[in-house]
Chains A and B, each alone.
Chain A
Amino acid sequence: MRRTTVPRIGYRLRSRLLALTTYALLAIVSFFVLLPLIWMVSTSLKVNADVFAQPIEWIPSDPVFNNYPEAYGRADFNRYFLNSTIVTVVATSLHVLFASLAGYGLAKYRFVGRQWLLIVILASLMLPIEVIMIPLFLTVRDFGWLNSYQGIIVPHIADAFGVFLMRQYFMSLPNSLIEAARIDGAGHLRTFFTIAVPLSRPALVTLAIFMGREVWDEFLWPFLVVGSGDMRTVPIGIQTFARAELANFPNLMAISTLATIPLVIMFVVFQRQFIRGIQATGLRE
């Protein structure tokens, strides 16, 4: 290969050009990617007659803020938010507790069949709800759990990625700390709760945020098991609302915006954990 020495000025100019191109491309792509969201917010402030009016009024001259209380009042969204909160908090807490226990057991103990256990747990990744929805529905029905919190919550707990994530984290935790606690006479569970858990706060927070969003967002499973109105979670409530108000575009966009805002705030606040969670476990979605 011929060695080329690029003159300093030329190099500067080139990296400048490269930076400019990057900015331009990023700006163009961001523009197109965000356009649907801008349209959503803008339409949520219009009257229905103006939704498809041309040219598009991106910033409504006479914004109709009333769409928000109107849409929110058309269904029992207070109840849906309450249901979603209960389901998300309980399912996430239980999952984080059980997954970290299992991850700890798999990372810090040696026992016969440990590797097999991990493989079996990871194999459950091949059984997403879409594959087992029919028998799972029948099982939950036979338990008498249709239309109940436990019916929505319990199947979420069996999720392999949390176990895998926690196992990886605990493996990086120095054994000496745990050994010291054990030598001081702390029991196995006590060592876990007083030494391992406090030391794994970042991983636990990452898992909780990731899992919490998954549960909050889940559509198919509650859609299958929730029959009556007062057990609807937010996604189910929104879907029912959208079916009833098929052509009420401003109301639909208002409720869509309302449902998106909490997640955007969550993302901005927990951006690091969010991204870490996706890069560690987001491969599955």
Chain B
Amino acid sequence: MAGATASQGARGPLSDRLRRAWLGPRQPYWGLLFVLPILAFFVVFKFWQMFRAIRLSLFDANPVSPVETFVGAQNYLDLAGDALFLRALATTATYVTGTVAPLMVLSLFLALMLHQKLRGVPVFRTLLFLPAIVPIIIVPILWRVLFHPYGLVNEGLAIVDVAGPNWLSDSGAVIWTLIIPTDWRFVPLYMLVFLAGLQAIPEDLYDAAKVDGASMVQRFRWITLPLLKPTTLVVLIASVTFTAKSIVLPLVLTEGGPNNASATLSLFIYQNGFVFFNLGYASAASMVLLAIVVVFTLANLRLFRTDE
């Protein structure tokens, strides 16, 4: 309740605001004191790091020598002409769209199934959620064996008479070794988010529509879909941001190969920073990743606010 009235309370002259400060006017700083400890961590380990990254992106630097040479926008200009960087951007775009499209459809579909009040459905919810429990490091290790030329994936394809490629060494197929495991691990998560969205839709809306003779399809089209729109947008934006920055699969499963076909943007940053020791160049690339994350997170925060 305090929060609901807070935004109105924040208006008006300063002295008024202080007088109305809820736990007495003499200790308005106590609220700040409560926030300070964690704020210190945010300042040192988040915001200061952002400024360091911006600064580094304008320098030529490596981790072993303390000498940093100012190069202006040169790192950014180099990026614009770096075929590997542009390819990393394209790969990231493919990875994101290839992952998010099926993720949205599947997680909504499964949530709709789980939302039905049938006996035994909670058991399926638990079973379907299991991949989301698997430690993230196990995902590349397990799927490397599944994508083996004689592994489970190709054996499954052989049943329907399809000769599967050598997934991990075929530069045309390797993107699937990022997409499929990502969806396998994260669809269960977003399935639960959709389920929460469905459960928040008032039951009487459906009852009323039923009384009016609306069919199941009509109820879905005119009640479920519109009311699920906020959830859908949140899932869309969260999964795009998450996939765009994710690094574990390219780092451990494909190592960017073959022939850089699975080198995503975050792997590009990692390699330039921690393998080639090109700190300025890597920081410039990380600013591009930051821009992507900022655009989508801002959209996400706006949605959060309209939710409240």
Binding site for B on A (CB under 8 A): 1-5, 18-19, 22-23, 25-27, 29-30, 33-37, 39-40, 43, 51-52, 54, 56, 98-99, 101-102, 104-115, 117, 120-122, 124-128, 130-139, 141, 154-155, 157-158, 160, 163, 167, 171, 174-175, 179, 182, 188, 192, 216-217, 219-220, 223-224, 234-235, 238-239, 242, 249, 252-253, 256, 259-260, 263-264, 266-268, 271, 275, 278-279, 282-285
- Give bound CA distance, A159 to B298, whole Å: 17
User: Closest approach, in angstroms, between the C-beta of A231 and any C-beta of chain B?
Assistant: 16
User: Closest approach, in angstroms, between the C-beta of A64 and any C-beta of chain B?
Assistant: 16
Q: How many cross-chain pairs have Cβ atoms below 8 Å apart between A and B? A: 310
Are A224's CB and B274's CB within 8 A? yes
Are A158's CB and B10's CB within 8 A? no
Are B34's CB and A109's CB within 8 A? yes
* In the complex, chain B residues 233-259 whose Cβ is within 8 Å of any chain A Cβ: 234-235, 238, 241-242, 245-248, 251-252
Nearest chain-A residue to B41 (Cβ)? A158
Residues of B within 8 A of A137 (CB): 273-274
* In the complex, chain B residues 110-158 whose Cβ is within 8 Å of any chain A Cβ: 110, 113-114, 116, 118, 120-121, 124, 126-138, 141-143, 145-146, 148, 150-152, 155
Residues of A within 8 A of B248 (CB): 219-220
Are B49's CB and A121's CB within 8 A? no
- Give bound CA distance, A43 to B148, whole Å: 14
Are A131's CB and B53's CB within 8 A? yes
* In the complex, chain B residues 11-61 whose Cβ is within 8 Å of any chain A Cβ: 14, 17-18, 20-23, 27-35, 37-39, 41-42, 44-50, 52-53, 56
Residues of A within 8 A of B177 (CB): none
Are B145's CB and A252's CB within 8 A? yes
Interface pairs (24), CB distance under 8 Å: A2-B213, A33-B131, A34-B127, A52-B151, A106-B35, A108-B22, A109-B30, A114-B31, A122-B301, A127-B46, A130-B245, A130-B289, A133-B269, A138-B63, A139-B44, A139-B45, A163-B38, A216-B135, A217-B135, A239-B141, A259-B137, A278-B193, A282-B192, A283-B193
Nearest chain-B residue to A14 (Cβ)? B216
Q: What DSSP secondary structure best describes chain B's contact surface? A: helix
- Give bound CA distance, A107 to B272, whole Å: 43
Residues of A within 8 A of B105 (CB): none
- Give bound CA distance, A9 to B274, whole Å: 68
Are B29's CB and A111's CB within 8 A? yes
- Give bound CA distance, A130 to B38, whole Å: 21
Are A126's CB and B192's CB within 8 A? no
Most buried by A among B3, B126, B297: B3
Residues of B within 8 A of A256 (CB): 138, 141-142
Cβ of B9 within 8 Å of any chain A Cβ, yes or no, is: yes
- Give bound CA distance, A228 to B4, whole Å: 51
- Give bound CA distance, A217 to B136, whole Å: 6
Cβ of B186 within 8 Å of any chain A Cβ, yes or no, is: yes
Binding site for A on B (CB under 8 A): 1-4, 6-7, 9-10, 14, 17-18, 20-23, 27-35, 37-39, 41-42, 44-50, 52-53, 56, 63, 110, 113-114, 116, 118, 120-121, 124, 126-138, 141-143, 145-146, 148, 150-152, 155, 184, 186, 188-189, 192-193, 195-196, 212-216, 234-235, 238, 241-242, 245-248, 251-252, 266, 269-270, 273-274, 279, 282-283, 286, 289-290, 293-294, 297-298, 300-301
- The 7 A-B pairs of least Cβ separation, nearest first, read A109-B31, A105-B34, A135-B52, A171-B3, A98-B38, A235-B137, A158-B41
Residues of A within 8 A of B298 (CB): 126
Question: Contact check: which of B4, B31, B42, B286 meets A133 at CB < 8 Å?
Answer: B286
Are B30's CB and A279's CB within 8 A? no
- Give bound CA distance, A268 to B122, whole Å: 12
- Give bound CA distance, A249 to B53, whole Å: 41
Residues of A within 8 A of B286 (CB): 130-134
- Give bound CA distance, A284 to B189, whole Å: 11
Are A43's CB and B50's CB within 8 A? no
